[in-house]
Amino acid sequence: MGGQKKSPWVFLSFIPIALVLGGVAFWIIQGRITAHPKIASQPKVMESVDYSGLTIPMTDIAVRVDHGRISIPLDVLKEKKMVRFEYGNNGVKIPILAYVTSSGRVVAAISMCEPCRSTHFHIQGKTLVCNACNTEWNLENLKGIQGGCVNYPPEVIPSTIEKGRLLIEEKVVRGWKPRT
């Protein structure tokens, strides 16, 4: 019984399909774990934090403004894990939040879910959740997970650490405009 020899073209035709599928899988995986560029450059202030099974509400705090910088006590942020305050500028109040990611980085952001206009959030396990619409974002990179406002996470603003305080440039906050 002579077996028919299979053409090498059948085998070779599967190579491009495998490459395309592999590329798509890589793109999907990379999209889920890639850090937000502004978050990746934020300072690390703690070792990892395990939020599994926890709900962390925002804590309203008072801040100082000195020499063009908004100043938050780092020890309060490390203790509470998520804080909120309002920056006033010419009668306009801009809500700001800061939290510690699971990997120990500090994230400062405008505290607004812009489509629904909520300014309050909480940490639920590995997600940041809007208190009004329940939209969820990945705590590490603010990529949308589920909900109506996934494309509008709180907008990250750069911050630095100096002498036990988290510092945010006033001009960055003053220049902020809603995306919607």
CA-CA distance, 113 to 134, in Å (whole number)? 10
pTM equals: 0.78
Q: In degrees to the nearest 10, what's the CA dihedral of 37, 39, 44, 48?
A: -110
Least-confidence region, from 28-37, 62-71, 149-158: 28-37
Q: Which domains are assigned to the chain? A: 37-174 (2.102.10.10)
Q: Which residue has the higher pLDDT, 48 or 20?
A: 48
69 has a pLDDT exceeding 60: yes
Give the confidence band of 20 by pLDDT, cuts at 50, 70, 90: low
